[in-house]
Amino acid sequence: MSGGVDSSVTAKLLADQNYDLSAVFMRNWDTRDESGTDKGCEWEKDWEDVQRVCKMLDLPCTMVDLTREYWTRVFEPSLQLWESGLTPNPDVWCNREVKFGALLDRLTPSTRWLATGHYARKEWTQSFTPASSSSSDLYEMRIRPQLLKATDRHKDQTYYLSSIKEDSLRKALFPLGDLTKPEVRAMAKRFGLPTAERAESMGICFVGEKRKFSEFVSQYVPPKPGDIVDLETGKVVGQHQGLWTYTIGQGAKIRGLPEKAFVAKKDPKSNVVYVVPGSDHPALYSDVMTVKDFEWIWPDSPPLAVFEPDGFRARVKYRYVMEDVPATICRTDESKMRVTFDQPQKAVTPGQIAAVYHGDWCLGCGLIEEASQR
């Protein structure tokens, strides 16, 4: 439980079904950061709300300190990507490495399910997979979990869950998968839950909602000033304090330009941020992206067409707030994929996650390495 309305309703729904429940609250971040301030992720307030809901539902609740695991498995890798000029998505890795990783490892062996307030669905299906070496058959039939989009497409969170492993997905429960956010909010009010009116949290936990991202990251990543260059003219039009301070597609506040500039490219080798005039400039669009470290949720059963010259037809999301788009995917080596979009796509950002779908079924994801035009 997080202290929010979604996990609160999840707990209530399961309690009403007479599950043997225990609530777990993850403490992932130490609010007293290196600057000595006490801002950012206000976990104390979240923990208080969890306790209030659990008291009402008569549920035991426990806080699990996962700050070390979060730091080493999520935050430090994110810092490395920011420092190299990429734009990571820590929330995706948090689900894989912490919530459905370290937390599952901490739970007792008798724990059968881990239920969360994510908007996603899971279904079981039969699948023919390569048989084990001890079997005389080439293939065997197994019952396997599928990660499916939520009924509420506006709140669907399979993008954030696209990196979790099959073994973790087997233990996952998503009670909100067939509900809409307005329905969940109405349920919370009808149940009289203490968190019914709580506002939805936004942004990265360790940054919080009351301070600027650049101010926070600057505590950990040293400044590395460089030029901001107009991609059309090649002229230097400004200065930046580090590639991590800008994201592809972001507006750049540069004085003296006749039209607002937007970030089209970042070059780690030259430490240059390239900008273009206008938010619909052709340089902001890409036809192709390379995705590395790709992992299928079913690691032994990737779509066979991905190995063919013509590739595998699928749909792709390269950021959370977007509709998935049609594309052709071809494997270029053991862990890299070449994704060719049917139509040019705007602001494809290296460092972000590319999640692959077949209809509602989320198949897996990888890290966007680069984007280009044909």
What is the pLDDT averaged over residues 287-295? 96
pLDDT at res. 203: 61
Helix (H) or strand (E) run with residue 237 in it: strand 236-240
Using pLDDT thresholds of 50, 70 and 90, give the confidence band for residue 266: very high
Kindly list the domain boundaries of the chain, sorted by start residue. 5-119+153-191, 223-279, 285-372
Give Dmax over CA atoms of the chain in angstroms.
Answer: 73
Q: What HEC string does 92-159 produce?
A: HHHHHHHHHHHHHHHCCCCCCCEECCCCEEEEEEEEEEECCCCCCCCEEEEEEEEEEECCCCCCCCHH
Helix (H, G, I), strand (E, B) or coil at 359: coil
φ and ψ of 8, to 5 deg: -65, -45
pLDDT at 254 over 80: yes
φ and ψ of 39, to 5 deg: -110, -170
φ and ψ of 103, to 5 deg: -65, -45
243 DSSP 8-state letter: G
User: β-pairing, 325-331 with 272-277?
Assistant: unpaired
What is the CATH code of the structural domain delimited by 223-279?
A: 2.30.30.280
pLDDT at res. 204: 65
Q: Which residues are catalytic?
A: 94, 205
Q: How far apart are CA 350 and CA 267, in angstroms?
A: 11
How many CA atoms are closer than 13 Å to the CA of 63, on its beta-carbon side? 15
Asked whether the beta carbons of 7 and 182 are under 8 A apart, the reply is no
Helix (H, G, I), strand (E, B) or coil at 316: strand
Residues 6+ apart with CB under 8 A from 333: none
pLDDT at res. 134: 65
What is the DSSP code string of 260-307?
A: -EEEEEEETTTTEEEEEESTT-GGGEEEEEEEEEEEESSTT---GGGG
CATH fold label, 5-119+153-191: Rossmann fold (3.40.50)
CATH fold label, 285-372: Elongation Factor Tu (Ef-tu); domain 3 (2.40.30)
Q: Which two tokens stand for residue 248?
A: 């592809």
Using pLDDT thresholds of 50, 70 and 90, give the confidence band for residue 263: very high
pLDDT tens-digit map of 88-114: 999 999 999 999 999 999 987 778 899
pLDDT at 136 over 70: no
What is the pLDDT averaged over residues 251-273? 95
Q: Which two tokens stand for residue 124?
A: 């079981």
What is the share, in percent, of the chain residues with pLDDT greater than 70? 92
C-alpha dihedral sign at 231, 233, 234, 235? negative
What is the pLDDT averaged over residues 166-173? 96
φ and ψ of 347, to 5 deg: 55, 50
The mean pLDDT of the chain is 91
Residues 6+ apart with CB under 8 A from 26: 2, 63, 64, 66, 98, 99, 103
pLDDT tens-digit map of 201-245: 766 666 655 557 777 888 899 999 999 999 999 999 999 999 999
User: β-pairing, 285-296 with 361-372?
Assistant: antiparallel
pLDDT tens-digit map of 7-64: 999 999 999 998 899 999 999 987 655 444 445 557 889 999 999 999 999 999 999 9
Give all strands of the β-sheet with 261-267 in edge-to-edge order.
236-240, 226-230, 272-277, 261-267, 251-252
∠ at Cα 122 (206, 112), nearest 5°? 80
pLDDT tens-digit map of 351-364: 999 999 999 999 99
